[in-house]
Amino acid sequence: MRTKHLVLVILIAVTASVSAAYFFAKKFQSKSTVEVVTETKPTSNVSYSASTAGSVDFVEASKKTTPSVVFIKNEAQVARRSSFWFFDFDPFGSIGKVSSSGSGVIISEDGYIVTNNHVIKNAQKLSVVLNNGKKEYPAEVIGTAPSTDLALLKIDAKGLKPVEIANSDEIEIGEWVLAVGNPFNLNSTVTAGIVSAKGRNINIVQNQFPIESFIQTDAAINPGNSGGALVNLKGELVGINTAIASKTGSYVGYGFAIPANIVVKIINDLKEFGQIQRGFDGLEVVDINDEILKKIGDVEDGVFVSRVSEANASSFKRIQTGDIVTAIDGHPIKHKAGYDERLAYYRPGDKLSYTILRDNKETTVEVTLVNKYGTTELKQTTYHYSDVLHAEFEVMGAFELEQYGIDHGLKVTKVDNGRLMKMNIPEGFVFVSLNKFPAKDVKAFLKKLEETKGQIRIEGITPQGGRQYLTYYSY
């Protein structure tokens, strides 16, 4: 830890019943098409028009925004267990029901709602209550994007009031913003503050390829605000409130929101494909520090390329380890969070112009983004569901395998109430082998996992990327 006191970054859903909120150390073209209020982005069907804060007071912005923010209730199942587990009978643990709540933002008049992934995670039953509190709707999950902690829901309703969406690139540090949500189950709460910083990476998204470039605000945000709206003084959405930094679990002055531009791209992907279309350039980059500066000389901005993957042939041919990326398509890159955010706007197949410094000489190269399998297709990932394990799996892509240093693996993408949940295997866990049987062929491996009795030894990789060996006994 860099500070003398423990600071937690907290995903701010309110959780009741048998568990507490999620905590992470701060080491750490229908009516429903989403539109944004400025310049055209290279992201599917999004359009923009100019917007500035102006001198509108808090009252008008609050009146305009509160009808667009909803209350979300989640009834989920979670595993509670000891360190030892029997496949068919667990005397030391159980699966229990957890009730939690958060917020969401209406983005179309016909019932599309955006929220945080952690608000709806493990849901057995989801419901949405509108701002007026008069009616409760069952909610369907259209898609999730764990790498950005976003999710898209749909309710069967018409005539709703969608939020207007601003271009979050234009928001300035020091600008007034309002946070609208349901903290501590208090419906339609509005707080005011300023934008304290932009491009914050707080290491809270537990994903292999996280996208973190948060807007930081001092508007009061508390548990229950997760998935709620951060808006400017015109009542336009600039971000989705996601986390707070706190020693106590409550607001102490640091809140974090996902920028609206990222939200729009993710929403459009989820509506069109049911999953995000992530473009990979094949580069691993780090922020420039004193040690790097000693090697490359004085460089003001940019990110240092620490590795180039062979999974993207275009970048592997044109960019080298040690290069400095200073701009992408003319947009200056100052730090890794900004680099990650810029890439988040694009899809596989997009061609981007990279400005790089090599041996103190500036040059421009073209890079074609690819999907996680190394192709330019807008690919639909195939998921495999096991009715025995009550879990969903997907085959690993080339970038994932390369990053983990393995040549095969099967990733868990969803865990329902059942065997895998009792094993305490989380979403994002990668099976490498079971009793040395490799996770290469999906059907063969799932059959092995479903049918093996006696001692079971699993080799795998945690969602955080660490090797893990688990031992169970199955009757």
Q: Which residues are catalytic?
A: 118, 149, 226
Q: Name the amino acid, one letter, at 221.
A: I
**Are 411 and 445 a contacting pair, CB within 8 Å?**
no
Please give the Cα distance from 293 to 304 (Å, whole number). Answer: 10
Non-local (6+) Cβ contacts of 372 within 8 A are 209, 278, 280, 397, 398, 399, 400
Q: Name the amino acid, one letter, at 273.
A: F
Structure tokens, 46: 């999004």
Please give the Cα distance from 264 to 45 (Å, whole number). Answer: 10
Beta bridge partners of 327: 332, 355
- Backbone torsions φ then ψ of 295, nearest 5 degrees: -90, -35
Locate the DSSP E strands across 401-466. Answer: 410-415, 430-434, 437-438, 454-461
**Are 346 and 330 a contacting pair, CB within 8 Å?**
no
Element (H, E) at 336: helix 336-344
**Are 454 and 473 a contacting pair, CB within 8 Å?**
yes
For residue 321, CA distances in Å to 92, 286, 324, 358, 406 come to 50, 11, 9, 10, 22
Locate the DSSP E strands across 85-235. Answer: 94-106, 112-115, 123-129, 136-138, 140-145, 150-154, 164-165, 176-181, 189-200, 214-217, 229-231
Non-local (6+) Cβ contacts of 107 within 8 A are 32, 34, 113, 114, 162, 163, 165, 267
HSE-up of 242 (CA within 13 Å, CB side)? 31
